[in-house]
Structure 1
Amino acid sequence: MTRQVLLVDDDASVREALGQTLELADLEPILAGSYIVAKDHVAREFEGVVVTDIRMPGKDGFALLDFVRSVDPDLPVILLTGEGDVPMAVRAISNGAFDFLEKPCAPKVFLSVVRRALTARDLVLENRRLKRELAAGDAAARLLRGTSAQSEELRRRVRLVGRAGAEVLVSGPPGSGTSKVAEVIHLVSSASQHPFVKRSAAALTPDGLAEAVAAAGAGTLFLDEVSALDPSAQLTLLDWLDSGGEARVIAGTYRDLQALVDAGRFSADLAMRLEVLRVDIPPLDERKEDIGPLFRHYVALACEQAALPEPDITPDVVARLMAQDWPGNARSLMNAAMRFAMGLTDPAPEQEMGLNDQLAQVERTLLVAALERAGGRAVQAAEMLKLPRKTFYDKLARHGLRAEDYRHD
């Protein structure tokens, strides 16, 4: 998603120059030449930040700052100051401005401040989302979907771990949703009203780790793929944990930390600290019965976001989804659901088949047709196909079919 920056300046040349700087940085400028034009873009749901000149005809940048804060006090406003405006800008910081920049401003400095403001905005919006989800009820039941015994055990474990308050290691294969599980642990914990900060461990320096911990405050810091944490950052994290820091640390990984410890590539002490509590996410192939409910959920979400009518998801589609391997786990299933919702592809495309596979597909098609004609009445469908009941039920099981899915009433 391209990030937006509301850029307000009555000087067209400054506006255009800074707008080009933003575009070259893959940001989307919204250009406004006055308070009146700018205020129409300000909303509590605005996902970007505001950059405004102080001195403008009519209502100035301070008036815009006041208006923004009345709409959303957490929406960052960066002030552009002339040489004589610096003292005023400094005072404005105490009134809630995010930062100020003196004109003319070097592009590198300008973009650095804008990106810091965008990061701050992301954190605010993410925590608002988490609080809304928490207020809606049981976060584990709502966000960790699935009807299998494995999914129910995962939800039970997450609730238990969430209340415990110690460090957690969330382990699961790629695409299984370690980040989502970490969010839910945070939501069901006593720290749910505090920030949830997510960082990629591979990108963290010791200084970056310290900043992330500070941002988490009394909340939760989630380190995605902690096995990639730099050795120096590992030491920093271990020191911080040993000091009894305020934030709770949840680490996610798809790798065997003990194997990395044995190979001398990960701190044994840190691994021991992170595995005080552990949550293992089962791969999708071990809980096939979750595929149908998850796929329907993902399709519904995609259709809601794109304002599209929901397509029909037939039992045949679900059966073919269940017959597939999903090495990418929930992420791959979500991608398939999005393509299906947009009408772009079959979520379970049929590949070139050999004779045995073709015969199995024909058998499956006949079984489905009989069930549809019989309205899901298994005994009647078996009679249509002139099959003994046991043989009929065996074939249904082999193809992942359920007679009740074809009932009309």
Structure 2
Amino acid sequence: MMTTVLLVDDDSALREALTQTLEIAGYQVIQAGSFIVAKDYISMSFDGVVISDIRMPGKDGFHLLEYARKQDPDLPVILLTGEGDVPMAVRGMSGGAFGFLEKPCETETLKTTIDRAGRARDMVLENRRMKQQLRQGDAAARMLFGHSDKADALRNKVRVAAAAGTQVLVCGETGSGTAKVAEVIHLLARGARAPFEKRAAAGLSRETIRTAFTAAEGGTLFLDEIAGLSPDLQLWLLDHLEQDRTTCLIAGTYQDLSALVAEGRFHPDLVLRLDLMRVRIPSLKERPDDIPVLFRHYVAQAAEQANLSEPEITSEMTSRLMAQDWPGNARALMNEAMRFVMGVAESSPSADDGLNEQLARVEAALLREALQRHNGHASEAAKALKLPRKTFYDRLSRYDIRAEDYRRIESS
């Protein structure tokens, strides 16, 4: 996605020259010659990055930074100056500037800073959209994420299935989230107060399936992987569904039940009874545009569970995730998010790894997390981990970790 840059500089010649440089580099540039002009573009919804000269007549770059922070504390503002003034840089950083660069700035340095700021902005806006989605709308909108047409179609189909009030067959590949879809159908149809019971069909006995129906009375029973139901229980279930009008049954499967009927492994009448309303969950391979949204959601969940800060998701990583087929679907993506938060996504433990190798990965992850949390300040990170400074640096050297890579503010 092309990053938008709001470029603020009162020197029109320099502004035009820098605009040309940025446009050649692939950025969309909005020009503003003063604080008054620039402030009209700054808001909570601005989806870009602000780059402002500091020394301008009237209200300068610091005034613009202060205004931007009031409008949206998470809006990245990069300050430019030709003075090389260290106290000025300190003032900019303490005021919440994302970066501070000295003019003339090398193109690659500027691009690197803009790209980091753009990724940070994208993550903030996406997190806000997801939180708004969680607060608003029905259960389908709150719990089934994705911006693609296939995600919209899934939510709509789930709503239709809930409104129909019949038995539902939820089909999806392994790890696609059949239980989540079943829960959403239940919430839309019966509400949160009605019981929702989940059971794995494989291994159920007549007694346990009776108990499950009793527990779900007046609500919903979800039988996961219905193809695992034994032949005698298939007949029992078919008979029970004729009598039980109080419990909604939702069955989940990743197998083709029609093929199982042809093989004599599943009762044809039960398929007809279960398949009154079918909801098919598209695989991640079919909707790669949803992968970044889901991954960011899972990363936020994993970071909260592990009490760690969310690591930066680079555009390179997003491209790599979207290029994969994900045969394990949402479950595999969720596991990848947890590994990413723990700092082991690029080199997950193998079957040959011993305890020392696995402990080393965890130690490296904790070092990286501490540096990220303390903005690359090694002394603060060492103190947080209760390590002597020399020991901390020895550990960084052991894992080839550079503290400066975790500093979010450019000062040169």
TM-score of the two chains, using structure 2 as the length reference: 0.51
Match of 1:259 in 2: 259
User: Superposition pairs for residues 67-86 of structure 1, below 5 Å?
Assistant: none
* RMSD (Å) for aligned C-alpha atoms: 2.0
* Alignment partner, residue 346 of structure 1: 346
Question: Which residue of the partner structure matches residue 150 of structure 1?
Answer: 150
Deviation track 1:284-341 (CA, whole Å, cap 9, x = no partner) reads: 0010000101000000000011110000001111011111121111111110001001
Corresponding residue of 1:242 = 242
SS for the counterpart of 1:222 is: strand
Counterpart residue identity of residue 226, structure 2: V
User: SS in structure 1 opposite 2:202?
Assistant: helix
Q: Distance in 1 between matches of 2:258 and 2:214?
A: 29
Residue 183 of structure 1 is matched in structure 2 by 183
* 3-state DSSP of counterpart to 1:193: coil
The residue that corresponds to 1:194 in the other structure is 194
Q: Could you state the TM-score of these two structures normalised by the residue count of structure 1?
A: 0.51
Shift of 1:261: 0.8
Spell out structure 1 runs of 4+ moving beyond 6 A: 133-136
Match of 2:127 in 1: none
CA distance in 2 between counterparts of 1:136 and 1:154 reads: 18
**For residue 212 of structure 2, what is the amino acid of its counterpart?**
A
Note if contact 1:285-1:325 (Cα within 8 Å) is conserved in structure 2.
yes
Aligned counterparts, 1:386-401, within 5 A: none
Q: Do 2:195 and 2:216's aligned partners in 1 also have CA atoms closer than 8 Å?
A: yes
How far apart are residue 135 of structure 1 and its match?
A: 9.0
2: CA distance, partners of 1:276 / 1:221: 16
Say whether the 8 Å CA contact 2:134–2:141 is kept in structure 1.
no
Q: Is the 8 A contact 1:340 1:347 kept in 2?
A: no
Q: Is the 8 A contact 1:317 1:348 kept in 2?
A: no
CA pair 205-338 structure 1, distance change in 2 beyond 3 A = same
Q: Which amino acid letter does the alignment assign opposite residue 290 of structure 2?
A: D
Equivalent runs, 1:289-304 vs 2, <5 Å: 289-304=289-304
Q: 2:324 matched to which residue of 1?
A: 324
Match for residue 24 of structure 2?
none
**Letter of the 2:203 counterpart:** A
- In structure 2, the partner of 1:165 is 165
Name the counterpart of 1:224.
224
Check the 8 A contact 1:223/1:249 in 2, yes or no: yes
Compute the displacement of 1:245 (Å): 3.3
Partner-residue secondary structure (3-state), 2:332: helix
The alpha-carbon distance between structure 1 residues 312 and 191, as it changes in their structure 2 partners (threshold 3 A), is closer
Equivalent-residue separation in structure 1 for 2:208 and 2:348 (angstroms): 42
Distance, in Å, in 2 between the alignment partners of 1:268 and 1:192 is 33
Using the TM superposition, name which of 302-311 and 187-196 deviates more: 187-196
Give the Cα separation in 1 of the matches to 2:219 and 2:325: 37
CA gap of 1:134–1:320, structure 2 versus 1, over 3 A, is closer
Whether the 8 Å contact between 2:169 and 2:278 is mirrored in structure 1 is: yes
Q: Where does structure 2 lack aligned partners over 5 or more consecutive residues?
A: 1-132, 350-412
Distance 1:335 1:254 in 2: 20
Matches of 1:296 and 1:249 in 2, distance apart? 33
For residues 114-144 of structure 1, give each alpha carbon's deviation from its aligned partner in whole angstroms, at most 9, with x where no partner exists: xxxxxxxxxxxxxxxxxxx999751111111
1:336 and 1:347 in contact (8 A); partners too: no
| Partner Cα distance (2:348, 2:318) in 1 | 9
The amino acid that maps onto 1:207 is E
In the TM superposition, what whole-angstrom CA distance separates every residue of 1:152-211 from its partner, at most 9, and x where no partner exists?
Answer: 000001011112110000000111010110000001113542110000000211111111
The structure-2 alpha-carbon separation of the partners of 1:177 and 1:337, relative to structure 1 and needing over 3 Å to count, comes to same
| Paired letter, 2:246 | E
Q: Kindly tell me: are residues 212 and 293 of structure 1, through their superposed partners in 2, closer, same or farther at Cα, counting changes over 3 Å?
A: same
Task: String of CA shifts for 1:220-260, please: whole Å, max 9, x gaps.
Answer: 00000000101111111111111133110000000000111
Structure 1, unaligned runs of 5 or more = 1-132, 350-409
Equivalent position of 1:280 in the other structure = 280
Q: Within 5 A, what are the aligned runs for 1:51-130?
A: none
Residue 383 of structure 1 corresponds to which residue in structure 2? none
SS of equivalent residue, structure 1 residue 203: coil
2:118 aligned partner: none
Could you tell me how far 1:348 is from its partner in structure 2? Answer: 10
Q: CA deviation at 1:347?
A: 8.3
Contact map agreement 2:168 2:250 (CA 8 A) in 1: yes
Change (3 A) 1:196 1:227: same
Most deviating of 217-226 and 244-253: 244-253
Task: Give the 3 Å change call, closer, same or farther, for CA 247–191 of structure 1 in structure 2.
Answer: farther
| Alpha-carbon distance between aligned partners in 1 of 2:169 and 2:271, rounded to the nearest angstrom | 9
Q: Is the 8 A contact 2:198 2:222 kept in 1?
A: yes
Match of 2:337 in 1: 337
The alignment of Structure 1 onto Structure 2 pairs a total of residues equal to: 217
What letter corresponds to residue 295 of structure 2 in structure 1?
A: F
**Closer, same or farther: CA 134–248 of 1 in aligned 2, 3 Å:** farther
Whole-angstrom CA distance in 1 between matches of 2:145 and 2:237: 32
Highest RCO, 1 vs 2 (Cα 8 Å, sep ≥ 6): 2
User: For the Cα contact (< 8 Å) 2:167–2:276, is it kept in 1?
Assistant: yes
% of aligned pairs identical? 56
Shift in Å, 1:346: 2.4
